[in-house]
Structure 1
């Protein structure tokens, strides 16, 4: 088996193990919550009306990639269960691209210095547990399992008009964070948070760049509340 194929399989196995661990933790918390609900069936009558809701939010985040502060814009949509659990999908892209210097064949007669331009985007599945919530404030712990792709270009001159296109590289990642928001009006909230991103890839340069802290700024639309407000006005 080629060496590169072995590395890829190793990365995939490590990433699969991480996903299994996170899913196990989330399933454990779910069953604990379910057991509490059975043991203490004293929920208010209105809780049955809010078992499941659709929600949407912009999910911009900043991170340190290649020692630079970069913005990763995105949005996510999903379902909320019992005001406590959220699951859904998100899509993200880094803008603008980052640049990184790489010295190839170091210490040899063919040593060359290249500048790599890196573009990055990813698709994510997320799970989120609400830690605290009241009428205006909320704090939660989201985890994103992402499958991404980097587009690589290189040149010896950063101002070059034509860059050599390199093969695309896949990046699997896990982002864990703590976030919070403040509800300004019934349909709109603003918030932020912090966390860490762990990347799995067989390209050392990308691993080095994308393993990094993240901080989050977001605008949240409360679609469920918008719908209930609209429905109430029609009645």
Structure 2
């Protein structure tokens, strides 16, 4: 039975410069064509609809951004709680048995910013994931049975955009599609489908510059279009 997976996510992305000079004529790191590299860390919390239930998928990503246009790294994700399945239970299981499907995966991601400026950007993220899923059964007498883990592969292309409200914080959104493949028995609870997410991005490197420079926290300095 097919099930659409829809996600709403919260991403916090602190970034700190690693090496290299800033773009010519300014030390502001908000311009998309900055020349230095910097580390990017993101807490990626997605809320999804799976089998008719709203669930969370917790994720943590870390990587490198360079030339203001390329980002790449690794992330880990896991379903925050089990989701009731839609498949029939084995006939020998007693009445009142609960079942939940669970999954987790490791993802390599890449992202290309194909248009943008100091204020906003439009990018194309892509994730390639490897993980597993299994089903847990909870019996009325307190017993628990977990099925063998099955390997999953997933590809998740998407399009994302964000707009800097202030130099150190921005709001964004994105949409895409998650396609899941299985190396063995395919999951009967389909977890492929369209995804949607929202973002709140904290640019820690710029926040530190604002604080150290005793600048106004809620100013538009550094976001002027030239």
Q: What TM-score do you get using the length of structure 1 for normalisation? A: 0.65
Show the counterpart of 2:159. 178
Task: Tell me the secondary structure at the aligned position of residue 81 of structure 2.
Answer: coil
Show the counterpart of 1:213. 194
Deviation of 1:227 after TM superposition, in Å, equals 5.1
Deviation of 1:117 after TM superposition, in Å, equals 0.8
Give matches, 1:1-235, under 5 Å: 45-46=24-25, 50-103=35-88, 116-155=99-138, 161-201=142-182, 202-205=184-187, 208-226=189-207, 228-229=209-210
Q: How far apart, in 2, do the equivalents of 1:80 and 1:198 lie? A: 26
Deviation of 1:219 after TM superposition, in Å, equals 2.6
Show the counterpart of 1:39. none
Is the 1:58–1:218 contact (alpha carbons within 8 Å) kept by the matching residues of 2?
no
Q: How far apart, in 2, do the equivalents of 1:228 and 1:172 lie? A: 41
Unaligned stretches of 5+ residues in structure 2: 1-22, 26-30, 215-226
Q: How far apart, in 1, do the equivalents of 2:45 and 2:171 lie? A: 11
Q: How far apart, in 1, do the equivalents of 2:124 and 2:98 lie? A: 37
| Inter-CA distance 120–211: structure 2 relative to 1 (3 Å threshold) | same
Task: Tell me the secondary structure at the aligned position of residue 83 of structure 1.
Answer: coil
Unaligned stretches of 5+ residues in structure 1: 1-43
| Inter-CA distance 225–56: structure 2 relative to 1 (3 Å threshold) | same
| Inter-CA distance 210–204: structure 2 relative to 1 (3 Å threshold) | same
| Inter-CA distance 131–69: structure 2 relative to 1 (3 Å threshold) | farther
Deviation of 1:232 after TM superposition, in Å, equals 5.6
Is the 2:34–2:68 contact (alpha carbons within 8 Å) kept by the matching residues of 1?
no
Is the 2:46–2:56 contact (alpha carbons within 8 Å) kept by the matching residues of 1?
yes
Deviation of 1:162 after TM superposition, in Å, equals 2.7
- Describe the superposition over 1:32-69 as per-residue Cα deviations: whole angstroms up to 9, x where unpaired: xxxxxxxxxxxx63588633122222222233423444
Which structure is higher in strand share? Answer: 2
Task: Tell me the secondary structure at the aligned position of residue 148 of structure 2.
Answer: coil
Task: Tell me the secondary structure at the aligned position of residue 135 of structure 1.
Answer: coil
- Describe the superposition over 1:73-114 as per-residue Cα deviations: whole angstroms up to 9, x where unpaired: 223221111111110111222222211132367xxxx68797
